Amino acid sequence: MIAHAGMLVVSMTLKLAARTRALRPSPTLAMGAKARKMREAGRSVVSFAAGEPDFGTPPEVCDEAIRALRAGETKYTPSSGTAQLRKAIAEKFIRENGLDATPEDVMATCGAKQALYNAFNVLLDPGEEAIVLAPCWPTYLDQLVVSGAVPVPVRGCDAETLEGAVSPRTRAIVVNSPCNPTGGTLDAESLAEIGRFADRHGLWVVSDEIYERLQYEGEHLSTAKFCEPQRCITISGCSKTYAMTGWRIGFAHGPTEVVRAMGCLQDQVTSNPTTFAQAGAIAALQLPNQKVEEMRETFRRRRDLIVSELQVRLGIAVPSPKGAFYVMLGLAQFLRPEETDVEFADALLEAVGVATVPGSFFLAEDSLRLSYATSEEDIIDGVGRLAEFVQGRRQ
Ligand SMILES: Cc1ncc(COP(=O)(O)O)c(C=O)c1O
């Protein structure tokens, strides 16, 4: 099992199941909670910790959910989503991802998180391994551990690195582009390498494309176009594209039998995603492209701003991420001897009220993840405070 910073601490006398003891509280939520507490105590805090758009959900989507609620759409639906939503999801995968899709190959879930959880549990037996491209979103590691599977993080997706991670127990590879935490995207060549590797070893590919509409350079490429599509599960959802994190609507696309098995699991775990949220999701999927483009353009401007502010104020080179709404800041030249990124992030929050998430939570030690899903004023203010903090420690 991977050593976890900040494992769930539970009194030993409670004797919870080992897989639960291995769970870590979400570091992003923990940082957000700490920042909120400081604000409540009257401190001024700029948060670069959030993993969600700061925009409101488009009014058309809210109106449709309200209409559904008022019309009495408050009962159970089929666990994998209403027929109308599954049709809209299939059309989305055809239109935006270039995949073959029918309503039977797709399902709605309670957020992309549940789609991932379903996929891991349906595809992997206990003790089987999933290669995870690192740095990575920590939920993959926790969900795999809870499923009884073993995450095998690898750095790089060249053939040699991938081959070095394979064992007789390897069953899947987890891909995430655009990536949380780096904002990096995989180009056609890298995806083709991953696809060939997966096909060579008969692996399942789980492709988390939740940030697919937040790509600023080049077009988003779906992994399923580069591997045997019958062995690929593509995951996305409404959360990031339509500023709908709280609605909990995710999507999965894959071979009909796998999707059916994921639906059976969901039957026994949560049943359907909230009925009137499904109605809102249909409206979201029908929004004019322009709406999404406007949000993406705002994020692109903020990305350019935060990268240039970091470069100017800290005097270091910061590579410009191509997608999502995160930028990684390397701390090598800022850490004191023996200091970790977790200690640095804590000190930064305490001293100048800037909340970030330590890179080590994403298997990217000695760095910080900064989310720019916040206003331009906050970006300028927060990076200014960060520079002040770094300079103060040099004196
Ligand atoms: C890479 C990645 N995948 C999935 C999710 C979860 O999405 P949802 O809110 O739809 O569960 C997140 C949320 O932060 C994420 O960063």
pLDDT at 6 over 60: no
Q: Does one domain contain both 247 and 311?
A: no
Q: Does one domain contain both 157 and 303?
A: no
Q: What percent of the chain is modeled with pLDDT above 90?
A: 89
Residue 245 near ligand 1, beta carbon < 6 Å: yes
Domain end among 237, 260, 288: 288
Domain end among 251, 267, 288: 288
Residue 113 near ligand 1, beta carbon < 6 Å: yes
Q: What is the pLDDT of residues 287-331, one digit of tens each?
A: 999 999 999 999 999 999 999 999 999 999 999 999 999 999 999
Identify the bridge partners of residue 204 per DSSP, sorted by sequence position: 172
Strand pairing class (150-155; 129-134): parallel
Residues 6+ apart with CB under 8 A from 19: 145, 146, 148
Residue 35 lies in a domain: yes
Residue 166 belongs to domain with CATH number = 3.40.640.10
Residue 210 near ligand 1, beta carbon < 6 Å: yes
Residue 323 near ligand 1, beta carbon < 6 Å: no
Residue 348 belongs to domain with CATH number = 3.90.1150.10
Q: What is the mean pLDDT of the chain?
A: 94
Nearest-angstrom CA–CA distance, 88 and 152: 35
Residue 69 lies in a domain: no
Q: Does one domain contain both 103 and 243?
A: yes
Q: How many CA atoms lie within 13 A of 179 on its CB side?
A: 24
In the predicted model, what is the mean pLDDT of residues 125-131? 97
Q: Does one domain contain both 108 and 50?
A: no
Nearest atom of ligand 1 to the alpha carbon of 238: 10
Residue 29 lies in a domain: yes
Q: Does one domain contain both 172 and 226?
A: yes
pLDDT at 61 over 50: yes
Per the listing, tokens 């029908």 go with 286
pLDDT at 2 over 50: no
Q: pLDDT band at residue 76, thresholds of 50, 70 and 90?
A: very high
How many other β-carbons are positioned within 10 Å of the β-carbon of residue 219? 8
pLDDT at 3 over 50: no
Q: Does one domain contain both 42 and 155?
A: no
Burial of 368 (0-12, 13-18, 19+ CB in 10 A): buried
Nearest-angstrom CA–CA distance, 287 and 92: 11
- Give the global pTM: 0.95
Domain end among 254, 288, 322: 288
Ligand 1 atom 7: residue of nearest CA: 112
Residue 183 near ligand 1, beta carbon < 6 Å: no
| pLDDT for residue 10 | 53
Mutate to test the pocket of ligand 1, among 142, 210, 247, 325 (most ligand atoms within 8 A of CB): 210
Residue 267 Cα to ligand 1 midpoint, Å, equals 21
What is the chain's percent helix, strand, coil content, to nearest 5?
A: 50, 15, 40
Q: pLDDT band at residue 11, thresholds of 50, 70 and 90?
A: low
CA 193 to chain centre: 22
Domain containing 37 equals 12-56+290-394
Q: Count up the domains in the chain and report the number.
A: 2
Nearest atom of ligand 1 to the alpha carbon of 113: 11
* Selection from 326, 327, 350, 357 nearest residue 5 by Cα: 357
Residue 361 lies in a domain: yes
| pLDDT for residue 268 | 97
Q: Does one domain contain both 51 and 83?
A: no
User: Which stretches within 202-274 are classed as H helix?
Assistant: 256-269
Residue 4 lies in a domain: no
Nearest-angstrom CA–CA distance, 385 and 30: 21
Nearest-angstrom CA–CA distance, 353 and 360: 20
In the predicted model, what is the mean pLDDT of residues 82-106? 98
